[in-house]
Amino acid sequence: MNAHAGRATCDVVIPAHNAAPYIAAAIQSVLDQRLPASRIVVVNDRSTDHTAVVAATFGDRVTILEGEGQGPGAARNLGVRHSRSDLIAFLDADDVCHADRLARQVDALAEHTDAVMTFCDAEYIDASGRPTGSMFTCPEYQRETFLGQLFERNRILTASVAMVRRAAFAAVGGFDERFSHAEDYDLWLRLAGVGPIEHVDASLVLYRLHASNLSGNRNALRACEREILRKHPAADIRAALLDVHGTAARADLALSHVLFRMERYEEGEAVLRRVCPDESDRALRHFLLGTFAVARGDVDAAAAEYGRSLACDAMFAPCHNNLGVIAAAQGRRRLSREHFLAAAGLRPGYADPRRNVDALEHGRTSDLRYTHAPLRAVLRPD
């Protein structure tokens, strides 16, 4: 008797661009699934290395398509068009699945028939495949208000952890091929707008850190996120944030930062200045006011707000980091270093102050980074 009888089938789409060193491990991890994939579709997106040759060694177990070099969103759309199952899982060519990934996610969607997609947690590995000891999880996940949580920030690490229903994917139009970065974030927002997104609370994917994905263009990412958020009216965003936070004050604190990410600075600061937060939120309000002051070039006002934030909460690490950037610009290197070390000490794994210490010690003051958002519950390597 077939142990998988009665279970839904799932196809896996793997976009690949110059992934020759990694794609064999990605494909093999799908072939090793406890619940076999119905079809594996690799989209070779104008690779200039031997990606297609490596993929072809798997023979007829893999369908290989040639993409147009228009990026991962277009490649995934092409792969979906050539898939057949009602459920589609994505996997980037440099990542690896645990053996029970497809089974766990298929079962989650079978149990939650209203869900339009599911995502799981991930473990970080280095370029050679060794675990780094770090995980990306979503401990703050709230199923009924996840759209608002997504407006606050992308809480889904990568498309490699996602499985979608074909009907929902088609209904929202798939990946928006205009975006070179954050195209997955755009899709998650649109899917969350039409139905629940389910979280499988388990690490089922190994996310590979290597030179290409670590050196991503931060400015391009932020520019794409800005345009993605601008697709959504501020009133809709606030309504979703109110669902998350329950009070107008907390919703407006969150909205002000979303408006900051949209570069609607005057509007965002105006919202923030109207907020009368509870005592527990005062540190966040002062931090955000400091961030808006940085955006308009008033570093003295920013420093004052960051100081007020630390007076409310001495553990607010991003304020130390940002005060370090300001001190460095004023030529106060010792004070700058003290702030960076304080930030790093308060939140192990916080990348900005570590990078800033290195930049300061090597005289690269133009590389110093402000932190513009409150830190995640779980920090991702950067």
Q: Give the pLDDT score at 382.
A: 61
pLDDT tens-digit map of 155-195? 999 999 999 999 999 999 999 999 999 999 999 999 999 99
pLDDT tens-digit map of 27-78? 999 999 999 999 999 999 999 999 999 999 999 999 999 999 999 999 999 9
Q: Give the pLDDT score at 15.
A: 98
Q: Give the pLDDT score at 215.
A: 42
pLDDT tens-digit map of 281-292? 999 999 999 999
Who contacts 266 (Cβ-Cβ below 8 Å, separation ≥6)? none
Q: Give the pLDDT score at 196.
A: 98
- Check: CB of residue 256 under 8 Å from CB of residue 288: yes
Q: Give the pLDDT score at 146.
A: 98
Number of H helices, E strands in the chain: 17, 9
Count Cβ atoms within 10 A of the Cβ of residue 113 and give its class: 0-12 exposed, 13-18 middle, 19 or more buried: exposed
Q: Give the pLDDT score at 2.
A: 53
Average pLDDT of each block of 10 consecutive residues along the chain (382 residues)?
Answer: 68 97 98 98 97 98 96 97 97 98 98 98 96 94 98 97 98 97 97 98 96 71 96 98 97 98 98 95 98 98 98 98 98 98 95 97 95 87 66
Domains and CATH numbers, the chain: 10-215 (3.90.550.10), 290-375 (1.25.40.10)
Q: Which residues of 340-355 are buried (b: 16+ CB within 10 A; e: fewer)?
A: bbbbbebbeebbbbbb
